[in-house]
Amino acid sequence: MARPTIQESGTRSSDAASAGPATAGSTGLAPSRNLLRRATIALPLLSVLIFLAVWQIVGGHIDPILLATPVNVVKAFWDLLTSGQLGPAFATAMGDLATGYLLATVVGVAIGVLMGRSPIVERVLNPYVNFFQATPLIALVPLVVIWFGVGFEARVTVTFMLAVWSIIINTATGVKETPPALIDVGRVYKLSRWRVITGVALPNAVPNIFAGLRIALGKALIGMVIAQMEISVTGLGGLIINYGNAFKTAYLLAAVCTASLVGVVAASVLEIIRRLAFPWTKGEDLGRW
């Protein structure tokens, strides 16, 4: 009777010994993960601070007309804000950007789904999509002015033109990459074509759609600024062109940085929407720093 008791105690002690390092190792992973998270947050901030410091040092030894320092850019931004110039310009820019970008999203997703689900539609539209995606659409701004004048419609059209093609291509790619097994499951349950699109193809294409939306956001921002610079000289683009002509580099860069921050914030909002509204895509790091 004593022998089994010895074996049991030995087994338990050996199990405890084998479990000991695993427990220690698992507890040791927590500090390393926390350190990794802190580094993930700190590295981008550190790189920005280093960039601003280098910019300040280099800009301090260069003619302000050629390159304004970050301190002078902040002062110019505050001057634009308190003088009442930045508010209306920002509102005009956001109106143009939001309208053109939302139109591009609706049209781009709709056409992309059609191209992804129908080989006939893809063959018909693919040459046009590839052509306009490769065309320098800024060259068409004079034609847009002839068609729509120099007002809100023309600026929205330019913004729309630059943004829509990336959404179409990425949406069509995501829909086409839907696993055939998922489509077969829909057929087994006798789902309609509309239910297959909304319940199977679109959820599978969400990562591609949001990738296209992020690319299109940058292009829409470029289109908005160029339209405001070239068509009606208003908004942030108007500030850029006016202060550029006056050689006020600090004010010019303040307007440019404002437009860039809009893009950064909008891209972050897109990422938050994707993670909250479509939780099954959390593993897809489309824009995380």
Q: 94-104, pLDDT tens digit by residue? A: 999 999 999 99
Please give the pLDDT value at position 44: 79
With beta carbons less than 8 A apart as the criterion, state whether 77 and 165 touch.
no
Domain boundaries, the chain: 1-61, 70-281
CATH of 70-281, one of 3.40.50.300, 1.25.40.10, 3.60.150.10, 1.10.3720.10: 1.10.3720.10
pTM for the full predicted model: 0.79
pLDDT given for residue 283 in this prediction = 61
Specify the pLDDT at position 224.
94
> What pLDDT is recorded for position 7?
46
User: Block means of pLDDT (10 residues each) for the chain, length 289 residues?
Assistant: 45 46 51 70 84 89 86 93 92 94 96 91 92 89 91 94 95 88 76 78 88 94 93 90 92 93 91 86 54
For residues 56 and 67, what is the distance between their CA atoms, to the nearest angstrom? 10
Q: How many CB atoms lie within 10 A of CB 278?
A: 16
Q: Tell me what pLDDT residue 201 has.
A: 82
Nearest Cα residue to 106 out of 167, 156, 196: 167
3-state secondary structure of 281: helix
pLDDT for residue 182: 76
User: Tokens standing for 164?
Assistant: 């829509």
